[in-house]
């Protein structure tokens, strides 16, 4: 595990000079410096504008004839996708703290760092913000992997929150050091119908009148019976259920929530939508792993390397006929798996720069690779009508063909 160093004395540049007068000989080190923003400013910047392009990393969501591209910490791009061969970029919802959305009927729900926002999208040409549930979502900025030291002298005050980190090169401190594991700094909690379909990296899901969102270690339940009066119902700290691991993705099938975490897949019974409870878990070594489910079979891509862990890249196929006792059916080794989707016996897996892999999943105990399509692919939404995939700043739509083939319909460069 990577180590992060906190300095006990003579810590930063103002004080370091007094510890060593020969600055020219000092070795340089990377410091993570918190970026602070005012909640009043963040909330005041929410707006709806005409269509625009973005270079931000993101994911996709589909509701009826609209495709939404969630540009992480920038906003939501709205496309009219009535004709998948010629999607039209029609609007942009400026939300600088957005990471996920969900849609039910005429309402779109989105996070804005620590707030939940509700938009009326009944008139897609006149999207309006109708509700803000303040300080209802936990937000933890990702600590940079390459940082050696953390500048804890930068502290949020008043209504400020830490929204991220900047890397600065500074003189390497020579003071006595306190060593802390990365886990100690990994989480900075800044918080003092007709339902659409998200990809396998979704963190929002809706069941009846409940909206579920996940933070790193808990499940949030919102009551959206009347979207105009949406309110926070409760939070459930899932570490009490699962005993560890950071929660990354949320998938729903009927009344069961499937949680993908850094330590495995977990099932949650949401029959009583406002009182979900833990049922079971399937564990593996630390890794990044979205999960999708079709009928009695769950598919998990497990990716190691970097901050994800040291496990070998693979697809795990899990029998969830008995959700109280999920069992491993098969494991398929594959390079760089990210998001995935399952439709009509075909399993689609985004493998980063290794392209889109199409598997015959008729035999759950033995996946068969049928086709590979080039490109960078991170996530997938398989609709009844066609397939949507997303890579780095690019959305590609395909029609289904015989023998697990795909034909490109359109490509959106973001």
Looking at residue 10, its pLDDT comes to 37
- Decide if pLDDT at 265 tops 60: yes
Domain ranges of the chain: 37-138
* CA-atom Rg of the chain in angstroms: 22
Neighbours of 186 (CB within 10 A): 16
Two tokens, residue 193: 């119908």
Share of the chain above pLDDT 90, in %: 60
Residues recorded for the chain: 414
Looking at residue 255, its pLDDT comes to 93
Strand partners, 318: 298, 328
- Average pLDDT taken over every residue of the chain: 85
The answer to whether the CB of 304 falls within 8 A of the CB of 287 is: yes
The mean pLDDT value for 230-235 works out to 96
pLDDT, tens digit (0-9, with 9 covering 90-100), for 90-103: 999 999 999 999 99
CATH number of 37-138: 2.40.128
Looking at residue 46, its pLDDT comes to 98
Looking at residue 244, its pLDDT comes to 57
- Measure Cα distances from 263 to 242, 248, 266, 335 in Å: 9, 10, 9, 19
The mean pLDDT value for 194-210 works out to 91
Which of 107-111, 143-147, 256-260 has the least mean pLDDT? 143-147
Q: In angstroms, rounded to a whole number, what is the distance separating the alpha carbons of residues 37 and 308?
A: 28
Q: In angstroms, rounded to a whole number, what is the distance separating the alpha carbons of residues 379 and 385?
A: 17
- Decide if pLDDT at 83 tops 80: yes
pLDDT band at 306 (very low <50, low <70, confident <90, very high): low
The mean pLDDT value for 392-401 works out to 94
pLDDT, tens digit (0-9, with 9 covering 90-100), for 240-253: 565 557 888 999 99
Two tokens, residue 286: 């630390």
Looking at residue 175, its pLDDT comes to 54
Place of tokens 């999943």: 361
Looking at residue 260, its pLDDT comes to 86
pLDDT band at 307 (very low <50, low <70, confident <90, very high): low
The mean pLDDT value for 380-396 works out to 94
Annotate the chain with three-state secondary structure: CCEEEEECCCCCHHHHHHHCCCHHHCCEEEEEEEEEEEHHHHHHCCEEECCCCCCCCEEEEEECCEEEEEECCCEEEEEECCCCCCCEEEEEEECCCCCCEEEECCEEEEEECCEEEEEECCCCCCCEEEEEECCCCCCCCCCCCCCCEECCCCCCCCCEEEEEEEEEEEECCCCCEEEEEHHHHCCCCCCCCCECEECCCCCEEEECCEEEEECCCEEEEEECCCHHHCEEEEEEECHHHHCCCCEEEEEEECCEEEEEECCEEEEEECCCCCCCEEEEEEECCCCECCEEEECCEEEEEEECCHHHCCCCCEEEEEECCCCCCCEEEEEEECCCCCCEEEECCEEEEECECCCEEEEECCCCCCCEEEEEECCCECEEEECCCCEEEEECCEEEEEEECHHHCEEEEEEEEC
The answer to whether the CB of 105 falls within 8 A of the CB of 193 is: yes
User: CB neighbours of 342 closer than 8 A, spacing ≥ 6?
Assistant: 292, 293, 294, 299, 348, 361, 382
Interior CA angle at 256 toward 255 and 260, to 5°? 150
- Measure Cα distances from 281 to 54, 238, 251, 267, 316 in Å: 38, 12, 14, 6, 14
Q: In angstroms, rounded to a whole number, what is the distance separating the alpha carbons of residues 346 and 348?
A: 6
Looking at residue 193, its pLDDT comes to 57
The mean pLDDT value for 64-72 works out to 94
- Decide if pLDDT at 108 tops 50: yes
pLDDT band at 309 (very low <50, low <70, confident <90, very high): low
The residue among 336 and 173 whose pLDDT is bigger is 336
- Decide if pLDDT at 186 tops 90: no
Q: In angstroms, rounded to a whole number, what is the distance separating the alpha carbons of residues 276 and 218?
A: 12
Q: Which long-range contacts (CB under 8 A, 24 or more apart) does 312-317 make?
A: 313/337, 315/340, 315/347, 315/349, 315/367, 316/282, 316/284, 317/364, 317/365, 317/367
The answer to whether the CB of 210 falls within 8 A of the CB of 109 is: no
Which of 6-20, 111-125, 234-248, 295-309 has the least mean pLDDT? 6-20
Looking at residue 347, its pLDDT comes to 96
Q: In angstroms, rounded to a whole number, what is the distance separating the alpha carbons of residues 406 and 382?
A: 12
The mean pLDDT value for 316-328 works out to 91
The answer to whether the CB of 98 falls within 8 A of the CB of 75 is: yes
pLDDT, tens digit (0-9, with 9 covering 90-100), for 324-358: 999 999 999 999 999 999 999 999 999 999 999 99
pLDDT band at 12 (very low <50, low <70, confident <90, very high): very low
Looking at residue 177, its pLDDT comes to 40
Share of the chain above pLDDT 70, in %: 85
Two tokens, residue 247: 């929660």
Two tokens, residue 42: 């963040």
The mean pLDDT value for 296-319 works out to 79
The mean pLDDT value for 252-257 works out to 93
């Amino acid at each position: 595990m990577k180590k992060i160093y906190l300095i006990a004395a003579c810590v930063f540049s103002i004080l370091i000079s007094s510890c060593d007068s020969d600055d020219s000989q000092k070795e340089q080190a990377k410091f993570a410096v918190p970026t602070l923003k005012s909640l009043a400013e963040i909330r005041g910047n929410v707006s709806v504008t005409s269509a625009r392009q973005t270079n931000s990393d993101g994911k996709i969501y589909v509701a009826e004839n609209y495709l939404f591209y969630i540009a992480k910490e920038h906003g939501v791009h709205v496309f009219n996708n009535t004709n998948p061969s010629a999607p039209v970029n029609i609007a942009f919802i400026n939300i600088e703290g957005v990471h996920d959305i969900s849609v039910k009927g005429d309402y779109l729900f989105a996070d804005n760092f620590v707030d939940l926002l509700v938009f009326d999208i009944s008139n897609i040409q006149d999207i309006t913000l109708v509700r803000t549930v303040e300080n209802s979502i936990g937000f933890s900025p990702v600590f940079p992997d390459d940082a050696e030291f953390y500048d804890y002298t930068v502290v949020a005050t008043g209504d400020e929150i830490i929204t991220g980190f900047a890397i600065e090169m500074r003189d390497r401190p020579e003071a006595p050091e306190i060593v802390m594991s990365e886990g100690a700094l990994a989480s900075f909690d800044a918080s003092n119908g007709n339902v659409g379909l998200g990809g396998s990296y979704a963190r929002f899901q809706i069941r009846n009148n409940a909206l579920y969102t996940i933070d790193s270690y808990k499940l949030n339940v919102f009551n959206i019976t009347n979207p105009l009066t949406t309110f926070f119902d409760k939070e459930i700290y899932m570490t009490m259920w699962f005993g560890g691991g950071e929660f990354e993705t949320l998938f729903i099938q009927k009344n069961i929530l499937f949680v993908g975490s850094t330590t495995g897949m977990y099932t949650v019974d949401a029959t009583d939508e406002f009182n979900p409870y833990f049922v079971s878990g399937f564990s593996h070594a630390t890794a990044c792993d979205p999960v999708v489910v079709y009928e009695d079979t769950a598919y998990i891509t497990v990716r190691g390397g970097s901050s994800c862990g040291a496990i070998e890249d693979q697809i795990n196929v899990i029998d969830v006929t008995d959700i109280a006792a999920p069992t491993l059916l098969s494991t398929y080794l594959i390079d760089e798996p990210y998001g995935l989707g399952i439709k009509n016996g075909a399993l689609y897996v985004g493998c980063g720069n290794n392209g889109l892999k199409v598997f015959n999943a008729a035999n759950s105990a033995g996946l068969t690779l049928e086709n590979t399509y080039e490109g960078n692919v991170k996530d997938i939404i398989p609709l009844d009508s066609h397939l949507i995939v997303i890579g780095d700043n690019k959305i590609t739509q395909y029609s289904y063909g015989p023998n697990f083939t795909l034909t490109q319909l359109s490509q959106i460069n973001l």
